[in-house]
Amino acid sequence: MKNLLLVLLLIGNTAFAQNDEAAVKEVVNSAYVSGIQNGGTIADIRKGFHPTFQMLRFMDNDVKPLGIEEWITAIEKNRAQANAAPVVRTEGKFVSVTVSGTAANVVLELYRGDKKIFTDNLLLYKFNEGWRIVSKTFYRHP
């Protein structure tokens, strides 16, 4: 009986982890890949990023944080200045997704055409309203 209970508990935990992994991927795809990288709505971006989000940029041998509202302002400015030239869609490839309770770590590669442009490390927390991105570090590929 104990073994059966243990097996059911493990199956239940695996199902929750798979559901959480799918939810994490959905947030990353909606708010980050579609929202930020591919011109999605600002509402979708704000829904997927926590207001305290910080992108940690490694510049000049230092770490320079950028908050989500500053990033959104820059995105809106760039979108307003964009010309009508066709834009190549950015595709995201999940390298890994690790969920540990209410915390998740995503390694994501971004491609434009066949060229890898970024490797991103995204951290998420599961809030009452769902998963939200709270931090990002990245490497820009040459």
Domain regions of the chain by residue span: 2-140
β 49-59/130-140 pair status: parallel
The predicted pLDDT at position 18 comes to: 73
The predicted pLDDT at position 88 comes to: 85
Confirm if 100 and 111 have CB atoms less than 8 A apart.
no
Confirm if 139 and 117 have CB atoms less than 8 A apart.
no
pTM for this model (two decimals): 0.85
Q: What is the mean pLDDT of each run of 10 residues along the chain (142 residues)?
A: 49 62 98 96 97 98 98 93 75 98 98 96 98 98 96
Q: Please give the CATH architecture assigned to the domain spanning 2-140.
A: Roll (3.10)
The predicted pLDDT at position 14 comes to: 47
The predicted pLDDT at position 82 comes to: 77
The predicted pLDDT at position 7 comes to: 44
The predicted pLDDT at position 81 comes to: 86
**Token digits of residue 79:** 């979108």
